[in-house]
Amino acid sequence: MLDWFNTRAAVDAGVALADGFAPSVAAPRNARRQAAAPAELRNAFARLLRSAQRDERARQLNLYQRARFASSFKWRLLERGVGRELAADVTRRLVVHLSLTGESSVATASGTAAPPAPDRDAAKSRYFLTQGNACVAAHDPLEAVGHYEAAARLDSDNADALNNLAAALCELGRYREADGHIRAAIRVRPAHPEAHANLGALLRARGELAEAEDSLRRALKLKPTLLDARHNLGLTLVSRGRWREARGQFRKVLKRDPGHAGACVGAAQVAGLEGQFAEAEALLARALRREPEMPAAWAAQAGLRRMTKADAAWRERAEAIAAATSAGLQEAELRFAIGKFCDDVGDYAGAFASYRRGNLLLREVAEAYGRDQRERFVDEMIGTYTKEACATPGLGASVSRRPVFVVGMMRSGTSLAEQIIGSHPSVAAAGELEFWNEAARERWTAGGTEPLGASQREELATQYLRLLATHSADAERVIDKAPANLDWLGMIHAAFPHARILYMQRDPIDTCLSCYFQQLSPSHTHTMDLGDLAHYYEQHRRLIEHWRAVLPAGTLLEVPYAELVGDLERWTRKILEFLDLPWDGRCLEFHSTRRAVVTASFWQVRQRIYRESVGRWRNYRPFLGPLARLATQPA
């Protein structure tokens, strides 16, 4: 039994391995070479893995010892001058590599036969669980993983070990592994509130918001006092556009724990969406008093105002926190915020490097973008909704002119258009509704590829008008500005042939870069790679060209973003006339309108007019890569 917990040999092995690896990459002597020679770094890492494998076989480490082996390796790298970011990344990769070796094939450090007798396994599993919890309390998720793995292997029905292992893996950025362990914990114990809460948090991080809400509500039904689950539910509701419900969840948390850092950040997010920036700043300050190095709180500060060179101390601290965190999504938040700082102060090379790192981290939780799948989808829309199919209203279609659809690529100016139109007293803005996306998903899942029939038109129109009524009972027009509605314009027009559609047209490269520079949901799988963005835009262009050709005249108004910000009044008059609304000067004072803006543009649309984003791509000309080909293509 004592041999099982003997870690001296494991620690010595980790230190020796780090001593062999560090000279290849340690700063400052080789910092420039490290940045310029990724091939050399890959070769050094390959040698590291071979050495680790040899050391593990020679020393025959069990799971507990393996965790200490990795921990000592990381700290030795730091001692030898390896940067925090690189040390954490290499150690994560090392842990993944070592975890591929099953404990069943590993003897104890003394060379005696494998794990102890089964009647002692449950007690040892509880011991490892306790040790893992202690490591988490000491902010050492890397070592905690080893303990939890040992606990779960010794007792596969230990739901707490499985759940806690998943949480520790999330801290290390190993989200796909975490998912399997959380679901295993729920299979073992279906009424495990913490496991449902953790699953909800993971689903939210992946952008699976409806499923996340279900899991978080299930957790709170089982255990209403789970404050982290409640604050995560609030964040999920914000992402779903239901910010009033979200604010209620944050208030419940803060009533029980006034300094709860996560709820403070969430409440600050809602305040920012409402334009209450001073209140948001105060809430973030409260969060940082509880957790001085909370990544989400530091990152959120950059989104509340334009940063200047006077904020250099903020950047320095943010860089240090980003380098120290082992959780990929937490680091990603900071990388996008640092990118914004650099962009604000004109350091475009630094900005692009930060955005690139943030996107690489997001891709760890995202599904791969399917280029062939996107092309097939566009082909299907073009083949289904022909000019003949869209020409005349069918039976069951609504005669309502109440819905207004603002569509376009994400980051093309849809929020600005919504804010301008929504400032009219006869208009209500509903934000980005999920209705058509969900309706289309159900239809396509069921194999429906034909145009809507009469009963389907009537049913969808009735449901949608009922939804709009929840946002305003009496407004003449209600805006739905979900960019994804562009995919479903054929179906939308079939149900609402008299509805008006605004298409926001922005420079293709500006649009794509703006997507790349925002921490969007990982469910937008095309936004994290410039090649994927270029491909998606080309398919987007194919689709809008089709809608231009088949929708009846007077249905679609194209609004060039650059012209809108260049001559606000002329285009505002044109838009209102298109919507059959009288002129109202309040539309020109859109920045003063008191309403929530639940998009990444919440700060910009509170400013008078935001022209800096026109032609912004020229600052990033050296970094465009595959986006450069869009410069010669129509918008």
- Tell me the per-residue pLDDT of 482-492, one tens digit each, with 9 for 90 and over: 999 999 999 99
d(CA 403, CA 203): 31
CB 613 within 8 A of CB 600: no
CB 454 within 8 A of CB 394: yes
CB 237 within 8 A of CB 212: no
Comparing 98-107, 211-220, 267-276, 331-340, which segment has the lowest mean pLDDT? 98-107
Report the DSSP beta bridge partners of residue 297.
none
- Tell me the per-residue pLDDT of 144-182, one tens digit each, with 9 for 90 and over: 888 899 999 999 999 999 999 999 888 887 888 899 999
Q: Is the pLDDT of residue 274 over 90?
A: no
Q: Could you give the percent of the chain with pLDDT greater than 70?
A: 83
Residue 500: phi, psi to the nearest 5? -105, 145
Specify the higher pLDDT residue, 63 or 327. Answer: 327
Residue 609 — pLDDT band, cuts 50, 70, 90? low
Comparing 12-26, 38-52, 294-308, 439-453, which segment has the lowest mean pLDDT? 38-52
C-alpha dist (Å) from residue 94 to 39, 87, 164: 18, 10, 21
CB count within 10 Å of CB 171 equals 22
| Per-residue model confidence (pLDDT) at position 141 | 83
Q: Is the pLDDT of residue 119 over 60?
A: no
| Per-residue model confidence (pLDDT) at position 12 | 77
CB count within 10 Å of CB 358 equals 28
Comparing 39-48, 365-374, 401-410, 524-533, which segment has the lowest mean pLDDT? 39-48
| Per-residue model confidence (pLDDT) at position 607 | 46
For the chain, the domains span: 394-439+452-632
User: Pairing relation of β-strands 477-480 and 500-505?
Assistant: unpaired
With tokens 């599993």, the residue in question is: 125
Specify the higher pLDDT residue, 446 or 360. Answer: 360
CATH (residue range 394-439+452-632) = 3.40.50.300
Q: Is the pLDDT of residue 64 over 80?
A: no
Residue 35 — pLDDT band, cuts 50, 70, 90? very low
- Tell me the per-residue pLDDT of 582-599, one tens digit each, with 9 for 90 and over: 999 999 988 776 555 444
Comparing 70-84, 517-531, 548-562, which segment has the lowest mean pLDDT? 70-84
| Per-residue model confidence (pLDDT) at position 100 | 46
- Find all residues with CB under 8 Å of 256, minimum gap 6, and list them: 225, 227
Report the DSSP beta bridge partners of residue 491.
none
CB 234 within 8 A of CB 263: yes
CB count within 10 Å of CB 607 equals 12
What SS3 class is residue 610? coil
State the average pLDDT over residues 42-57: 66
Q: How many CA atoms lie within 13 A of 110 on its CB side?
A: 10
| Per-residue model confidence (pLDDT) at position 197 | 95
d(CA 414, CA 406): 6
| Per-residue model confidence (pLDDT) at position 66 | 65
Tokens at 215, concatenated: 């899991």
d(CA 522, CA 63): 33
Residue 2 — pLDDT band, cuts 50, 70, 90? very low
Residue 395 — pLDDT band, cuts 50, 70, 90? confident
| Per-residue model confidence (pLDDT) at position 317 | 93
Amino acid at 204: R
Model pTM score: 0.74
Of 415, 436, 482, 137, the closest CA to residue 275 belongs to 415
CB count within 10 Å of CB 102 equals 9
